[in-house]
Amino acid sequence: MRRAASYEFVTDAAGLVLSGDGSRRVGDTRANVTSVLPPVADKPRFVAAMFGRIAPRYDLMNTLMTLGQDARWRRHVAEALPPPAQHARVLDVGTGTGRLGLAVRELDPAWRVVGVDFTIEMLRQAPGDLDVAAGDAERLPFADSQFDAVVSGFVVRNLADVERGLGEQVRVLRPGGALVVLETTPGPNGWLGPLYRLYFRRVVPVLGNVIAGDASAYTYLPESTLAFVQPARLASLLRRSGLRDVRSRYLMLGCVAITVGYKPHMLPHARRTL
Ligand SMILES: C[S@@+](CC[C@H](N)C(=O)[O-])C[C@H]1O[C@@H](n2cnc3c(N)ncnc32)[C@H](O)[C@@H]1O
C-alpha cells in the first residue's frame, strides 16, 4: 500500500492554495495546514506521477466513487455549451482518459474535440479516435483564440498556479466562445458537509487502496478538493481572467459545480488601449 506523505501548504483567506513555500503572501490571512498536498513547486511533477500510477483504474474508480454520477456531470458540461457552428473546435484541458471530450462529442458530433494533458499514461487510456496532445495546462501549446469552446473536468484544483491556468484557457478561446469548468467543491454547508468530508476522508482512500492499489492518490483527491475554493471564488477568478456572464450551477447537493463564462469580443484591457 502506498502511503501519503505530509507537506505544509499555504492558503489565502478564501482557501485558495497559493504556495507551499510562502512565496506569495496575502496579508495576514495565511493559514498553515499539514496535508498530503505538495508544495507548489513540486505540484506538477507530483500530480503527473500520481495520475500516471492510477491511469488504468482511473475511470473505474470515478464510477465507483460517484456511483456513476460522473458521466451525468460531464453530460451537463456538454449541454452548457452553445450549439456548435460548422467545424467548431472544443479544447478539453486535462482530458486524461478523454471522458469529457467524448461526452461533448456524443451530445453533438459536430464538435471537433481536442484533448490536452501532461500525463501520457492517462492519454494512453483515451479512445484512439480522439485527437489528443501532450501539453501543460499552464502553458498550452496552442495559438491565441483557436477554440470555439474550452472545457475542463476535475483539473483546475490540480494546477500549481490556478490563475495562470485559467488565463491560458481564456487566451486560446476565441472571442464570444464559452469556457466551462467542472470541479468538485470543498463541500456543501449544513448537515451534508460533515457527511461529505467523512466519505471523502475515510471511504475514498480505502476504495482507492482496494481498487487502484493507491491510497496516497485517493488521499490527495479529498484533500485537494477540501482545500480548493468555493464556486463563487472560482467564478470571480474567471471574471478576473476576463470572462463575462460567469455563472455557477451546483450539482449533487453542492458537492460538484459547473462554472460557465464567455470571452467578450474585446477584453477590457484591450479596450483601454484603443
Ligand atoms: C482528475 S483528472 C480529470 C480527467 C478528465 N478531465 C475527467 O473528466 O475525468 C485530472 C487530469 O488533469 C491532468 N492535469 C493536471 N494538471 C495538469 C497540467 N498542469 N497540465 C496538463 N494536464 C494536467 C492530469 O494529468 C489528469 O489527467
Residue with cell 466513487: 65
Q: What is the Cα Rg of the chain in Å? A: 18
Amino acid 103: pLDDT: 98
Q: Where are the domains of the chain?
A: 41-272
Q: Does domain 41-272 have CATH number 3.40.50.150?
A: yes
Predicted structure pTM score: 0.87
Cα 95 to middle of ligand 1, angstroms? 6
pLDDT in tens, 60-95: 999 999 999 999 999 999 999 999 999 999 999 999
Cα 270 to middle of ligand 1, angstroms? 31
Measured CA to CA in angstroms, residue 185 lies from 74, 120, 221 at distances of 15, 27, 12
Amino acid 160: pLDDT: 97
Tell whether ligand 1 has an atom less than 6 A from the beta carbon of residue 178.
Answer: no
Task: Determine the Cα–Cα distance for residues 112 and 102; give it in Å rounded to an integer.
Answer: 10
pLDDT in tens, 192-229: 999 999 999 999 999 999 999 999 999 999 999 999 99
φ/ψ of 208, rounded to 5, equals -60, -35
Amino acid 187: pLDDT: 87
Task: Determine the Cα–Cα distance for residues 105 and 131; give it in Å rounded to an integer.
Answer: 12
Sheet holding 147-153, edge to edge: 131-134, 112-117, 89-93, 147-153, 173-184, 256-262, 244-251
Which residue has the CA at smallest separation from atom 23 of ligand 1? 94
256 SS3 class: strand
Tell whether ligand 1 has an atom less than 6 A from the beta carbon of residue 230.
Answer: no
Which residue has the CA at smallest separation from atom 1 of ligand 1? 154
Whether pLDDT at 26 is above 90:
no
Whether pLDDT at 140 is above 50:
yes
Whether pLDDT at 33 is above 80:
no
Tell whether ligand 1 has an atom less than 6 A from the beta carbon of residue 101.
Answer: no
Task: Determine the Cα–Cα distance for residues 230 and 258; give it in Å rounded to an integer.
Answer: 11
Tell whether ligand 1 has an atom less than 6 A from the beta carbon of residue 155.
Answer: yes
Tell whether ligand 1 has an atom less than 6 A from the beta carbon of residue 47.
Answer: yes
- Mean pLDDT (the chain) is 87
Under a CB-based contact definition with an 8 Å cutoff, are residues 166 and 263 in contact?
A: no
